[in-house]
A and B are shown apart, each in its own frame.
Chain A
Amino acid sequence: MGKVLLGRYIPGSSLVHRMDSRSKLILSFFFIVIIFLANNWESYLLLFIVTITSILTARVNFSFFIKGVRPLIWLILFTVLLQIFFSSGGTVFWKWGPFTLSYYGIVNGIYVFCRFVLIIFMSTLLTLTTAPLEIADALEKLMMPLKRIKVPVYEISLMLSIALRFVPTLMDETTKIMNAQRSRGVNFGEGNIMQQIKAVVPLLVPLFVSSFNRAEDLATAMEARGYHGGEGRTKYRVHYWEIRDTLGCTFFVVVFIILLFIRQW
């Protein structure tokens, strides 16, 4: 299962790696929101510079970001083509039935493409530099205010952490069982629809069985070690808001202000 790279944490010690997961999470969301404010060449250029700077600061190989785009390339192309052929305005270069190829269409297409790439790069940066459990921690902390309106924040974050923790285990398990069934003559991903559905049963049944067993074991182990819900628990990973987090936030606020000035109103 080596192909699933999107969202895989790569340990490191760069400035971005060491930032508090809360600030990274907030800044990523913030950035994704302000991407929608960009509407001319200058503003997209600014956002690209910000993204590239962040990636360089994180010292992660650029190829991971390209790989992050690849699985979504068809979705991106489809959306871009829709934009190009169905939005009109400006000089019309070509027309055929409902399709028009116009100046604005092309520009819009390019903008949409940039938007996708920026969003994917930034969210990839978040998941490449932040361990999944830290993201879950950050979500828990950020959701704390919702506790007032009786949202079960601890439970949600526990579920999220456990789910994240077991994704790699489940993928290993899947590979193992697929190998075992292949050796028994199952062909995954071949034949007609009926055959393919039938091939999934020998994979899913063992996966469910082992997941249920594992869940039971985990529950027993947690109870044996005295887990009693989230209230009053202290954390193993303690995070502190440091100067670098303040700096990071300031940087993005400055970017936001510049963006407000150079975008077209």
Chain B
Amino acid sequence: MVMGIIFKTVNYTYQPSTPFEQKALKNISVEIPTGSYTAVIGHTGSGKSTFLQHLNGLLRPSSGEIVIGKQIITPETKNKELGELRKHVGIVFQFPEAQLFEETVLKDIAFAPKNFGKNEEEATAIARQMARQVGLKEELLLKSPFELSGGQMRRVAIAGILAMEPEILVLDEPTAGLDPKGRLEMMEMFKELKEKQNLTVILVTHQMDDVANYADNVIVLENGRLIANGSPKKIFAQPKWLIEHHLALPKAGEFAVNFEKKTGYKFETLPLTESDLASQIVKMVHGGVQNG
């Protein structure tokens, strides 16, 4: 099923018409192509999590309209109409380990597929498979999720969403608080999964390296407004603009900019990933000095 996502001048206000009113999204119009790996970046409080919660109708726009596949979400859409959509959109929330509740790890992972109509056996089979996928050892499956370490709990929670076999996978800082190795494993796992099953992935992150390494589309939010949308190349092309908006370059790009400043060499295009940086340096060394 093709599930394109289109936001049409979406506004969202928390606690409208009270003194605590907070406009969290302002006139957002954007399209997220099916099968893309979209990174959503922006400062703390810029509205990223609010944006994500619109993707399966947990929040409905205060005004405007969102189209996801065949489902149109307007301010008037009823909760009941959204069950079908929620089957197809899996959201891994910020610190998802807070959602664990079952007696065993296996049961917790099987919870969502059971809710969405799978029988006990099918759900358990999917749960086992997903546990393997996120790197949980077999002997943990019958333990209580509350006996696990923080990192293991995170994996259980993520597996619980993957078990829904969503077509759109939404990740809100899924690796925050994991160790570097676990982080890399997770990100590689998402990438592999996306390629194998042709998912649409939407990732909120503060790690510009993740944006450069994995995303092919970037949405930049600031104070609830969309201030840029395009490929990582386009977004990272103007280091000055990034600094103005309190964003950073990926490490490789940062290195390249400093390298240009110190040595006077010029890169053809600003490298964003380590491998790109390495190959450009190799080319430079072999191709001789262009500029002294």
Give complex CA distance A179, B82 in Å: 13
Q: A10 near B101 (CB under 8 angstroms)?
A: no
Interface residues on B, range: 20 to 34
Q: A184 near B161 (CB under 8 angstroms)?
A: yes
Q: A202 near B101 (CB under 8 angstroms)?
A: yes
Inside 8 A of A152's CB, which chain B residues have their CB?
Answer: none
Interface centre among A177, A182, A183 (most CB of B within 10 A): A183
Give complex CA distance A179, B14 in Å: 15
Q: A184 near B99 (CB under 8 angstroms)?
A: yes
Inside 8 A of A263's CB, which chain B residues have their CB?
Answer: none
Q: B112 near A177 (CB under 8 angstroms)?
A: no
Known: A10-B19, A176-B93, A180-B93. A185 touches B112 (CB 8 A): yes
Q: A2 near B14 (CB under 8 angstroms)?
A: yes
Contact among B15, B90, B93, B164 for A2, CB-based, below 8 A: B15
Contact among B86, B100, B116 for A206, CB-based, below 8 A: B100
Inside 8 A of A209's CB, which chain B residues have their CB?
Answer: 101, 146
Q: Mark A199-212, 1 if CB is under 8 A from B, else 0.
A: 00110011001100
Q: A183 near B18 (CB under 8 angstroms)?
A: no
Inside 8 A of B91's CB, which chain A residues have their CB?
Answer: 180, 183
Contact among A5, A180, A187, A202 for B18, CB-based, below 8 A: A5
Inside 8 A of B19's CB, which chain A residues have their CB?
Answer: 10, 61
Q: Which of A159-197 contact B (CB under 8 A)?
A: 173, 176-177, 179-187, 190
Interface residues on A, range: 20 to 34
Q: Which of B136-177 contact A (CB under 8 A)?
A: 146, 160-161, 164
| B271: interface (CB < 8 Å) | no
Q: Mark B84-97, 1 if CB is under 8 A from A, else 0.
A: 00110111010010
Please give the distance in Å from A44's CB to the nearest CB on chain B: 30
Q: A182 near B58 (CB under 8 angstroms)?
A: yes
| B83: interface (CB < 8 Å) | yes
| B279: interface (CB < 8 Å) | no
Give complex CA distance A185, B91 in Å: 11
Please give the distance in Å from A171's CB to the nearest CB on chain B: 12
Give complex CA distance A182, B82 in Å: 10
| B115: interface (CB < 8 Å) | yes
Inside 8 A of B161's CB, which chain A residues have their CB?
Answer: 183-184
Q: B115 near A186 (CB under 8 angstroms)?
A: yes
Known: A186-B115, A187-B83, A202-B111. A181 touches B99 (CB 8 A): yes
Inside 8 A of A176's CB, which chain B residues have their CB?
Answer: 93, 98
| B77: interface (CB < 8 Å) | no
Inside 8 A of A183's CB, which chain B residues have their CB?
Answer: 56, 58, 86, 89-91, 93, 161
Q: B58 near A184 (CB under 8 angstroms)?
A: no
Q: A185 near B96 (CB under 8 angstroms)?
A: no
Please give the distance in Å from A253's CB to the nearest CB on chain B: 33
Inside 8 A of B111's CB, which chain A residues have their CB?
Answer: 184-185, 202
Known: A10-B19, A179-B53. A184 touches B101 (CB 8 A): no
Give complex CA distance A176, B79 in Å: 17
Inside 8 A of B86's CB, which chain A residues have their CB?
Answer: 182-183, 185
Contact among A2, A182, A210 for B98, CB-based, below 8 A: A210
Inside 8 A of A61's CB, which chain B residues have their CB?
Answer: 19
Inside 8 A of A190's CB, which chain B residues have their CB?
Answer: 79-80
Residue of A nearest to B157 (CB): A180
Interface centre among B53, B80, B98, B99 (most CB of A within 10 A): B99
Q: B18 near A185 (CB under 8 angstroms)?
A: no
Inside 8 A of B93's CB, which chain A residues have their CB?
Answer: 176, 179-180, 183
Give complex CA distance A165, B96 in Å: 24
Inside 8 A of A201's CB, which chain B residues have their CB?
Answer: 101
Residue of A nearest to B96 (CB): A180
Contact among A10, A184, A205 for B115, CB-based, below 8 A: A184
Q: B116 near A185 (CB under 8 angstroms)?
A: yes
Q: Which of B90-148 contact A (CB under 8 A)?
A: 90-91, 93, 96, 98-101, 111-112, 115-116, 146
Inside 8 A of A186's CB, which chain B residues have their CB?
Answer: 115
Q: Which of B204-262 contact A (CB under 8 A)?
A: none
Residue of B nearest to A173 (CB): B98
20 example contacts (A-B, Cβ-Cβ < 8 A) are as follows A2-B14, A2-B20, A10-B19, A173-B98, A177-B98, A177-B99, A179-B53, A179-B93, A183-B56, A183-B89, A183-B90, A184-B111, A185-B87, A185-B116, A185-B164, A186-B115, A190-B80, A202-B99, A205-B101, A209-B146
Known contacts A184-B164, A202-B99; 13 additional CB pairs below 8 A are: A2-B18, A2-B20, A176-B98, A177-B98, A183-B86, A184-B111, A184-B112, A184-B161, A185-B87, A202-B101, A202-B111, A206-B99, A206-B101
Residues of B within 8 A of A (CB): 14-15, 18-20, 53, 56, 58, 79-80, 83, 86-87, 89-91, 93, 96, 98-101, 111-112, 115-116, 146, 160-161, 164
